Chain A
Amino acid sequence: MTSFIRLCLVLLGICTLAACQKKDDATTAATGGDTVKIAFMGALTGDVAMYGKPTLEGMKMAAEEINAAGGVLGKKIEIIEADNRGDKQEGAALAQKFTSRDRVAAIVGDPTTGIAKVVAPIAQKAGVVMLSAGSTGPGVVEIGEYIFRNTLLDNVAIPALIDYFARDLGFRKVAMITSDNNDYSVGLSRTFSDAAKGRGIQIVADEKVKDGDKDFSAQVTNIKAKNPDVIFFSGYYTEGALIMKEARKQGMKVNMFGGDGISASTFLELGGSAVEGSVAYLGFSPEQTSGETAAFVENFKKRTGQVPEMFGAQGYDAVKLLADAMKRAGSTDPKLFRTALAQTKNFPGVSGTVTIRPNREPVKSPLCLLEVKGGKYVLKARVPVKLD
């Protein structure tokens, strides 16, 4: 028994020795040198890679453009990338690496709320700015004053959407479907039902599904009996597409409205003719006529061979926002440019105009409604959002 204890102590000692490294000098590398490092936090492989990959592309594009024009305060932007595979522990480990080893000035990410919540405390503690270009759930920026995001929030978009339902489309009865193992969906549904009160919209059905479900026959049968004007689905594209297929199968003619969760090419591929007429609301549409955004879309297409969507645009905007804040503060030290970032007003991003509120939450305008027509997303309307 004692030999075993000895063995364990030896192992512990080895671990500790391996871990001890000379701690670098206290000055942050973020301010020294001729580069300013911005890290990408997101998934390049796995289930949620479709949020991470385009974000990184957008970031790189923005960095290249800024560097070509002379950089930020004379320094070149260096994008540090890694893949967290959508895993929280990996995200935490990478966040530690970015803040302690790479000495980044800012982290752009994570696009998902879950990992954003894990990374934020680490960034906050290290005094590094975190700017999430995609997470929409509650409880992210509250973690600390270094934490920001630049995505269209549901509690900003939904009231505008509901007014549009009532005013422009004449909808009165909504069937709401929630995916209840999906925090994005649960939050969005809650926002929707709260905002629907007192706006003349009645939620006639409140059905639940789960991410991963394939059979929706029972829920659709229930909904059909209530005769709604529209189906509002707060979940993701796979389930959304399959729900619509089932709805059409059971003879329902109404369309589906949803958030950016259903704005993915898979929604079109799986849904086929069943999703014609369905609408997703987003903070971005590639069909923009104004100069800057059109140029962005062209360049993105040339660079990646694909039309950009929301995450690419927001990743691009994130880097540009950071650079703008650094310029205004006259420093690449997060302690200093953090304040400038918090005071951003009417920043003209390609994914909409952004203002950061005093509580560090973003307000973006406009809300873009994308309708599925002929198997493609087509801009149906731009609903303005009040920027305060």
Chain B
Amino acid sequence: MILQQLVNGVALGCTYALIALGYTMVYGIISLINFAHGEIFMAGAFAGLLLVAYGKLNLFLALAGAMLVSVLLGIGVEFVAYRPLRRASRLSALISAIGVSIFLSTLAMLLFGANARGFPEGTFPSRQIDIFGAQISSLQLLIIVTAGVLMLALELVVKKTRIGKAMRAASEDYTAAALMGINVNLVVTFTFALGSALAAAGGVLVGVLFNAVSFNMGLHAGIKAFAAAVLGGIGSIPGAVLGGIVLGVAEISGVALGYSSWRDAIAFAILVLVLLVRPTGLLGKRIDRKV
């Protein structure tokens, strides 16, 4: 049974990892917690759901469609709610982000109702695979693999491409990067696009896994994914995945031991502890505060 719970934990953790990747990327560049990231995740899930249920597309095409929708949404949000505030105080940007989050989740509730909706049965015929007596579904396996693949792909983009280099420059020193001729607006837009695409992929996969897409899935999962990102080291891509897995296992352990009421609190407790004890997280780099 312990192995089964471990499998449960890792699978859950990878769902957080998928969202955390987007968070960590955006935060790394513009130092903004994109509070609305969870809502983009939710939008992707709904887009995927609608494409499968009404557009009758197969899951992978729907995934692509959902990613497109989220990318557009993410870029739109950045343009409307964050870009005008780039020079404003951090408080303003944060409040704006909360406003977007509330707006999008309420919009979803009005459009799709308060009830959770499921993907049509048979969207992803999932088989149970037996590993040493523990059960893991092929869908859970897919999520774990996807988290790993995306992590590597992102690392590749950030370390080996030109735009990746620009992203790293902007994250280190925003103003200097602009002075060096980097089109910072483009970098930010690209980062948001990438983060949103990831969120959408996460949204669809998680939506199919739990078979529940609801207007508040973003609020719920978003905070936990942020905790995962911080735990792993905000700004670190492998950190997001590691943080996700650790958080997932911790949460499941808590539930398995009978503390299921506290499962959400576990995420926060981890977050607070990390911030107080080791703010750079497990894999983050040390950053000195400049006066």
| A interface residues (Cβ-Cβ under 8 A, vs B) | 46-47, 49-50, 180-181, 207-210, 212-215, 217-219, 221-222, 225, 238, 241-242, 245, 249-251, 266, 269-270, 272-273
Q: Is the CB of A217 within 8 A of B211?
A: no
Q: Is the CB of B114 within 8 A of A209?
A: no
Q: Is the CB of B217 within 8 A of A214?
A: yes
Counting CB contacts under 8 A, is B128 at the interface? yes
Q: Is the CB of A238 within 8 A of B255?
A: no
Counting CB contacts under 8 A, is B256 at the interface? yes
A215–B118 Cα gap in the complex (Å)? 14
Q: Is the CB of A219 within 8 A of B255?
A: yes
Interface size class of B (residues with CB under 8 A): 20 to 34
Partner of B114 from the list A46, A207, A217, A269 (CB cut-off 8 Å) is: A46
Q: Is the CB of B121 within 8 A of A273?
A: yes
With A215-B210, A245-B211, A249-B128 given, is the CB distance from A225 to B260 under 8 Å?
Answer: no
With A46-B114, A217-B11 given, is the CB distance from A272 to B121 under 8 Å?
Answer: yes
> Smallest distance from the beta carbon of B123 to chain A beta carbons, Å?
11
* Number of A-B residue pairs having CB atoms within 8 Å of each other in the complex: 78
A-B contact pairs, 5 of them (CB 8 A): A218-B252, A219-B255, A245-B211, A249-B135, A272-B121
Counting CB contacts under 8 A, is B189 at the interface? no
Q: Is the CB of B211 within 8 A of A242?
A: yes
With A212-B220, A218-B5, A266-B116 given, is the CB distance from A251 to B256 under 8 Å?
Answer: no
Partner of A225 from the list B1, B217, B252 (CB cut-off 8 Å) is: B1
A208–B220 Cα gap in the complex (Å)? 18
Q: Which residue of B lies closest to A242 (CB)?
A: B212
A210–B264 Cα gap in the complex (Å)? 10
A238–B121 Cα gap in the complex (Å)? 16
Q: Is the CB of A208 within 8 A of B261?
A: yes
> Smallest distance from the beta carbon of B15 to chain A beta carbons, Å?
8
Residues of A within 8 A of B161 (CB): none
Residues of B within 8 A of A225 (CB): 1
With A208-B261, A210-B261 given, is the CB distance from A221 to B116 under 8 Å?
Answer: no
Q: Is the CB of B135 within 8 A of A270?
A: no
With A219-B260, A225-B1 given, is the CB distance from A212 to B216 under 8 Å?
Answer: yes
Residues of B within 8 A of A218 (CB): 5, 8-9, 252, 255-256, 260
